[in-house]
A = this chain, B = another copy of it.
């Protein structure tokens, strides 16, 4: 009865939006493979705007065998042939209403592919896989001296074999080696404190044997010591076969809404969005299940080259093997100036291969790859894709003399605003939030508890090639809890471009106008903000509270400024710590430090600026 009522209400609420299609009438019913029928149904409504596909509440099964397939480039994933369960191309105002259903995937499929769609709502369902993309090995015995450990490894849930002394997981048609791995704590359901200590070094030889049913013994390879007994070693494979299947992939679309959608697993990210305008997430949840400690193989959500507003509210992101959110653009190196205003460009990070960098009419900036600072702004006249790595950009204008430095291009049109509010991020590997966009950013009222940085405002033109020096960021009223329990040097906020040895600071600062205000920081390490190459940084009204949840660390500064200017550090309050240090480099200018409690500025700073 309850199912029927829920269903009726949901359907009732949608009538105004267009035709409601009950998928059961098209042969899509719980308990049997619905992929073929669903593919057919989706194709049949391609040209009909306003359709709601309504799934009566139930457990639906989607298998890979008969799924529509295409070669797909997916940013931050491994490109290749993808089988698709919901292949949504060119639809207008479509709603997928799950009514609380479970969509269970079988095999290497991408549940949602959304391309050139305007107006789409995904609502009220959960996504999971019958077989996971990672394996969880519970340590049941260890020998610290011999660097050996015995693990419990369920042969049914994680089918595997040993070949040439290598542990290989038989994972949906692939033989996946251990590859990336880390140790989790079943008590906290998060990565264990100082997890890197227990990881298997990918380049060290190990010996794997099978001492019994559901048992695996690993000798050698652990970085410092084998994982403590009772902890979980999570193994998640290698590139280019470990990030093939995001849960939801959106590209070249507009007006995406995701409401009350739960993602339990993914062979990649929960949500990856490229070149899309206006995205709203409300009540999305990325989380593991009772049976597994880890959820997605990579970020919960990730956005590259979007515009309009990204609004993320009331979400929970936990148990991922990477960040909760990353918003950025792409720096693409210029390989050669061909003359005729044509730039031969070379996408440099392998997980951006195949990216739509821009389209005619987009505003772009020519940058120095050495300083990562802008040189010249113009517009794309034409773009011609050569292959996944390279494209030729025809520009409206070029500088009279082409600068004699390594160049990159950046798309200025496709930067979004971001509102990230009332979300919970916790118990994941890596950071809570990464953001580099020229749009307005508001991060407020969140609970953030990640094992690396809380918020990382980076931008780099050498490693990930993630672009977007920020111009207006407000971070306020958030609760940061135990940030940095990976245990090396991490901050609730780190704002700094990432430079390599050949790159250096230029004339101007990279980031601008960052406000870090009224946040509460429960901290075992006394860290608050590290900033580099920032112009205009306000750190005020924040409260630091000492946490005993992890071993106290007394290293590094609470606030650390490097080549910053116009910095205001006012009315911050620290309790329970030895006075927290504030330092700056000599090229940092105009720092105001006042009315703080529990902080101690370095000698020169106090004299000069306080």
Contact = CB atoms under 8 A, between A and B. Distances in A.
Interface of A: 36, 39, 65-69, 71, 81, 83, 344, 386-390
Nearest first, the 3 closest Cβ-Cβ pairs linking A and B are: A69-B387, A71-B71, A66-B386
A74 B361 CA distance: 37
Contacts of A390: 65-66
A67 B67 CA distance: 31
Contacts of A387: 66-69, 81, 83
B66 A344 contact: yes
A388 B388 CA distance: 21
Contacts of A386: 36, 39, 66-69
A80 to B, nearest CB: 8
Most buried by B among A65, A66, A67: A66
A68 B65 CA distance: 31
Given A36-B386, A39-B386, A386-B39, A71 B67 contact: no
A51 B66 CA distance: 43
Given A66-B344, A71-B71, A344-B66, A81 B39 contact: no
Given A36-B386, A68-B386, A81-B387, 9 more contacts: A65-B389, A66-B344, A66-B386, A67-B386, A67-B387, A68-B387, A69-B386, A69-B387, A69-B388
A265 B237 CA distance: 36
| Copies held by the complex | 2
20 contacts: A36-B386, A39-B386, A65-B389, A65-B390, A66-B344, A66-B386, A66-B387, A66-B390, A67-B386, A67-B387, A68-B386, A68-B387, A69-B386, A69-B387, A69-B388, A71-B71, A71-B81, A81-B387, A81-B388, A83-B387
Contacts of A344: 66
Contacts of A68: 386-387
Nearest to A166: B164
A66 B39 CA distance: 36
Contacts of A81: 71, 387-388
A115 to B, nearest CB: 16
A333 to B, nearest CB: 13
A104 to B, nearest CB: 20
A389 B344 CA distance: 37
Most buried by B among A67, A83, A386: A386
A388 B70 CA distance: 9
A66 B384 CA distance: 11
A69 B66 CA distance: 27
Nearest to A387: B69
Nearest to A391: B66
A69 B353 CA distance: 12
Nearest to A39: B386
A354 to B, nearest CB: 9
Nearest to A72: B71
A389 B388 CA distance: 24
A163 to B, nearest CB: 11
A174 to B, nearest CB: 12
Contacts of A67: 386-387
A482 to B, nearest CB: 41
Nearest to A36: B386
A71 B39 CA distance: 22
Contacts of A39: 386
A376 to B, nearest CB: 24
A468 B71 CA distance: 32
Contacts of A388: 69, 81
Nearest to A81: B388
Nearest to A66: B386
A259 to B, nearest CB: 31
A564 to B, nearest CB: 41
A513 B490 CA distance: 80
A127 to B, nearest CB: 20
A289 to B, nearest CB: 28
A66 B69 CA distance: 27
A344 B65 CA distance: 11
Nearest to A69: B387
A468 B386 CA distance: 40
Nearest to A205: B164
A73 to B, nearest CB: 10
A351 to B, nearest CB: 15
Contacts of A36: 386
A317 B81 CA distance: 35
A598 to B, nearest CB: 55
A388 B387 CA distance: 22
A388 to B, nearest CB: 6
A204 to B, nearest CB: 12
